[in-house]
Amino acid sequence: MTYIIDKIDIKILTLLQKDAAVSMDILSERVGLSRNACWRRVKQMEDADVIRGRVALLDPDAVGVGLLVFVMIRTNAHAPDWLLKFEGAVRTMPEIVGAHRMSGELDYILRVRVANVKGYDVFYQRLIARVPISDISASFVMDDIKDTTELPFCI
């Protein structure tokens, strides 16, 4: 069953994306619903996986992984066994906070969080020891101009 998001749901989701710890009383007041009606909508969206979870967003510098690295990967191997090995490495290496299979010139882009360039080198050595990669390059983020988890609404 597909959940149909309406304007009130968008208000709820917008507020929850800014602060998932907001109380149901404040949330319901801000969207103009009773507490119970608001709770039911949130619960329905959780049940439908519109809301997949609620998390705490941490400061990367405060937890020692202040360097964000975009790792671009090209591979000549497209066999199922290579893909399983690669996906296994990606899922078990905590430094990888995002992994995306791409169209175009690149096969994969990884978002990697490490403490510093030396930490990246340690990560790199572990990755290439686990799975053969044809071409790998990295770009180090110098400044975060915008980095958000909030999704836009195109409804």
* Shared domain check, 122 and 72: yes
- Residue 57 inside a domain? The answer is no
40: in domain = yes
- CA distances to 61, 74, 75, 88, 134 from 137, rounded to whole Å, are 24, 9, 12, 20, 10
Domain that holds residue 40: 7-47
* In a domain? residue 83: yes
Q: Does residue 43 have a pLDDT over 80?
A: yes
Residue 9 has a pLDDT of 97
The count of structural domains within the chain is: 2
- Please indicate, yes or no, whether residues 76 and 129 belong to a single structural domain of this protein: yes
pLDDT at residue 1 in the model = 65
Assess if residue 130 is contained within a domain.
yes
Dihedral (Cα; 26, 62, 97, 124), 10-degree rounding = 180
With tokens 């149909």, the residue in question is 4
